[in-house]
Amino acid sequence: MEEFCYPEFLVALHEWTWHYLWAMTDYILTSKWMVLLVHWIHVVLIYFGVPPPHPTAEQVGLCLGATISTLIAYYVFFGNRHLRRRKVLQRELNKAQDRVQELEELLLEAEANPDYHTDDEKKIRIFMDGAFDLMHYGHMNAFRRARSLGNYLVVGVNSDESIKQCKGPPVLTEEERMISVSGCKFVDEVVPNCPYVMSEDYLDWVIKTYNIDYVVHGDDPCIVNGKDVYESAKKRGKFKEIRRTEGVSTTDIVGRMLLMSTSHHQQGGLGESGHLVSTNKKDPSGEGKAMASYSKFLTTSRMLRLFSAGVKAPPKGAKIVYIDGAWDMFHAGHVMLFKKAREFGDYLVVGVHGDEAVNRQRGSFFPIMNLNERVLSVLGCVHVDDVLIDAPLIITREMIASLNICAVVHGTVNDGLDGRSTPKAGHAHAFTYEESYEVPTQMGIFHKIDSSIDLTLLGVMTRIQKQQDMFTKKISKKKRAENEYYNNLYNLNGSKEPDSK
């Protein structure tokens, strides 16, 4: 076989290229459209009185070629400058956005960190009081907002007796409510046995004893027996108002438990039709309709960032502890469990199971609070370092390695509806307790914690059931008041006429 000669190939390619170019040039110059173009150029020149000789087809083609080449060269070297400039601006914008996000995170951490302010800086002490019965993330957000008005938050927890006299007995005891409030990362100090209606003498005692600068409450009116609870604070010029957290209230949450439906799992979704806990399913008074509610809370990334303020990566060499669960109706039992769990290491990661997983395990209308609501409640706990959202029911070796988990813990007392030991009957995808913790048990990193208190979700529900009639009437009344508040706030009644301009 004759060897391939590269120089001869180049010569042949060169000759073929030139031959092809001349052939194409000849084809273009003799084509119908070129002949027509030259003809019309001659017609125009003659019309304007331009004497011959007129341009030939070769001259017109050369002019067109030069023009097209110039335009292409200009675009390549100069015309796409705006694209390059756009890329530069985009890079600068990305850097600026990263910087803004970094500054926002620093600001959020500063707002949440009680040690941010120097010792020489005067502490602006804020006082806030309430029953905080069935404490939820709405209360925690109120604490966060109140603390942002100063740099030290003192929270008074109303006594059982004063609550009972004003609006009926609370579901949780004062001790249980104290644990929940003190377990919030936005709270610096707690005052026990605070009266539901503060007298001027008591307010004066609080201000002097705790060196209070401002008394804070939400923008919803707090009227008891026709009297403003914070009238004395307003007279002293010590009162400040914060916006209430929309879309959540104790009234709404208790209503979910009494109604026993799953419509609160999704925003605006329609779940299973529910019924009251009692055997009497008729509701001639229409109170059930007044109580019926799904979660109206709108979870934004900003809200998650606010509650995540201060969350940092575990330090090098830290012993990471993991505990998972539904954490439905976040209560004092959960707070104490997290406190004990953190003692097993340096950094506590809490896994929060998704709505579908919880319902699959527990059945019925659980969880009472949806995933976003439960995540915020856990993030607001002072003992929690980070949260695993929509945590898997089964802990695998890959998960342990990925999160660098050194210890997996579980309480001896759970919510009474864990479902792992007795999964939902007939459900093929429900897991037992042994299946969920099989891997950490085999690895020797699984530990059981003796729960400090025996408060459970089932226990809370039982307390509410025992006083169902009272709660039904109270919630129905409170629900109407809340609806009126939102109607007035957003003019939902349409009382104002639209602008005719």
CB distance 155 to 189 below 8 Å: yes
Cis peptide upstream of residue 367 (ω within 30 degrees of 0)? yes
**Structure token digits, residue 25:** 């040039």
pLDDT score at 384: 97
Dist. CA 110–CA 116, nearest whole Å:
6
Please say if the pLDDT value at position 263 is more than 90. no
SS (H, E, C) 108-158: HHHHHCCCCCCCCCCCCEEEEEECCCCCCHHHHHHHHHHHHCCCEEEEEEE
Dist. CA 148–CA 141, nearest whole Å:
11
Strands 227-228 and 223-224: antiparallel
pLDDT one-digit tens code per residue, 442-472: 999 999 998 888 888 888 988 888 888 877 7
How many C-beta atoms surround the C-beta of residue 182 within 10 A? 17
pLDDT score at 432: 84
Dist. CA 195–CA 202, nearest whole Å:
8
CATH 3.40.50.620-classified regions of the chain: 125-242, 313-455
Q: Which CATH number fits domain 125-242: 3.40.50.720, 3.20.20.70, 3.40.190.10, 3.40.50.620?
A: 3.40.50.620
Which amino acid type is present at position 362?
A: R
Q: Where does 326-394 show beta strands of DSSP type E?
A: 347-352, 386-389
Give how far Cα 23 sits from Cα of 7, 18, 20, 118, 150, Å.
24, 8, 5, 86, 85
Residue with tokens 């299946």: 435
Question: Chain-wide mean pLDDT for the chain?
Answer: 80
Of 23-37, 231-245, 281-295, 332-346, where does mean pLDDT reach its minimum?
A: 281-295
Please say if the pLDDT value at position 177 is more than 90. yes
pLDDT score at 277: 37
pTM here? Answer: 0.67
CB distance 321 to 307 below 8 Å: no
Please say if the pLDDT value at position 493 is more than 90. no
Categorize the per-residue pLDDT at 58 as very low, low, confident or very high, splitting at 50, 70 and 90.
confident
- The per-residue b/e assignment along 288-299, b for 16 or more CB within 10 angstroms, e otherwise, is bebbbbbbebeb
Mean pLDDT of 190-206: 90
Categorize the per-residue pLDDT at 485 as very low, low, confident or very high, splitting at 50, 70 and 90.
low
SS3 416: coil
Higher-pLDDT residue of 165 and 232 is 165
Please say if the pLDDT value at position 440 is more than 90. yes
CATH superfamily for 313-455 is HUPs (3.40.50.620)
